[in-house]
Structure 1
Amino acid sequence: MAEYQHISHGFEPVFDERSRVLVLGSFPSVLSRAHSFYYGNPQNRFWRVMAACLGEEVPPNAAGAVSEEMSIEAKRRMLLRHGVALWDVIESCDIKGSSDASIKHVVPARIDRIAGVAQLEAVLCNGGTAGRLYRRHLEERVGLVAQVLPSTSPANASWSYERLQARWQEALLPYIGGAAVR
């Protein structure tokens, strides 16, 4: 059984001054921390869902790209082209492995880094844990009520890919313009 460890996030948020919608997860998984980028577990449906919602091809994973850096850069560019910022609610915490349920001693992300630069119109939380943590630690500072979406995690097996993609598309559509579902 995994033991508690105090872990810092370890990589930067994705955003620029054109970001209109902020997507927040809770905290990077073990695989994401190992790859130094968001949603590093190939079973997580985040990148497939986002690509479909944004009308783009799914960016290559590290195995399909020339390098892991190119894979990360392709994902970053895809989000920024459509005004999507990406970060996590937590800067550091005590956690067992990748278990959101084990999170304690939360240090929230320095959300001002994004809110002070981007013209945010919406916050979308990837799952209930991110939503609860956002309400508790960041909502007042951002000034936007978050929409909590179903988690793209493989642990959320009750949501099929198709249903998940449709729900995320509905939430993103007002902020991403004319992107089409592929």
Structure 2
Amino acid sequence: MLQGLPPILDVGVATLILGSFPSPASLAAAHYYAHRQNQFWRLLGVLLEEPLSVVDYVEKQRLLLRHHIGVWDVYQQCLRQGALDAAIQSPAVNDFSRLRNEAPGLRRVCFNGQTAGKFAGWFQQQGYETWVLPSTSPAYTLAFESKLARWRAAGLGDPG
């Protein structure tokens, strides 16, 4: 079984971005969205007007938290060959009940792609605003500007 990464989370997080499960590159680097072709850091850098694509991982985390944004995945562990979500087998879901204590100001959950987005209903039932957004993965070939517009429409980059 592959083990996921710990969340980027603190008590100030108002928006949580959930992916499905880290890619092999992310697991090897021990940080989210480490694959150089993944557009996550570039996209959020534009939305937040921060140099996220060029700073180190510690600084990426600090800047996200300064903007009240957390990052995690829906699965804590799974079996998978390669990086595609379609190859995920035997997944175990993360314990989201901890969010009430660890991120009491959380009000919006954004899902990075359709696989993570399957959990939107559960989060809506918990009272969170949800957005299922286009995946930043290089496997999802929607143009960057189109992805950016959809992520901007979800309010990312807005205060709190």
Q: How many residues align?
A: 159
Deviation by residue 1:53-98 (Cα, 9 ceiling, x = unmatched): 111123426xxxxxxxxx1111101110110010000001121121
Q: Is the alpha carbon distance of 1:163 and 1:135 closer, same or farther for their aligned partners in structure 2, counting shifts above 3 Å?
A: closer
2:144 equivalent to 1:144: no
Q: CA RMSD in A?
A: 2.0
Tell me, which stretches of 5 or more residues in structure 1 are unaligned?
A: 1-5, 62-70
**1:141 & 1:74 partners in 2: Cα distance?**
34
Deviation by residue 1:21-62 (Cα, 9 ceiling, x = unmatched): 11000000000000001001010000000011111123426x
Among candidates 26, 39, 42, match of residue 36 of structure 2: 42
Question: Is the Cα–Cα contact under 8 Å of residues 111 and 142 in structure 1 kept in the other structure?
Answer: no
| 1:67 paired residue number | none
Among candidates 39, 45, 48, match of residue 54 of structure 1: 48
Deviation by residue 1:135-167 (Cα, 9 ceiling, x = unmatched): 47x53784425310000111111x211111121
Among candidates 90, 104, 110, match of residue 124 of structure 1: 110
What is the letter of the counterpart of residue 2 of structure 2? I
Residues 54-133 of structure 1: pairs in structure 2 closer than 5 A: 54-60=48-54, 71-118=56-103, 119-132=105-118
2:10 equivalent to 1:28: no
Question: Is the Cα–Cα contact under 8 Å of residues 124 and 130 in structure 2 kept in the other structure?
Answer: no
Superposed structure 1 runs of 4+ greater than 3 Å apart:
140-143
**2:90 & 2:124 partners in 1: Cα distance?**
19
TM-score of the superposed pair, with normalisation by structure 2: 0.90
Tell me, which stretches of 5 or more residues in structure 2 are unaligned?
A: none
Q: CA deviation at 1:122?
A: 0.7
Larger Rg: 1
| 1:169 paired residue number | 152
Identical pairs, percent: 37
Question: Is the Cα–Cα contact under 8 Å of residues 14 and 69 in structure 2 kept in the other structure?
Answer: yes
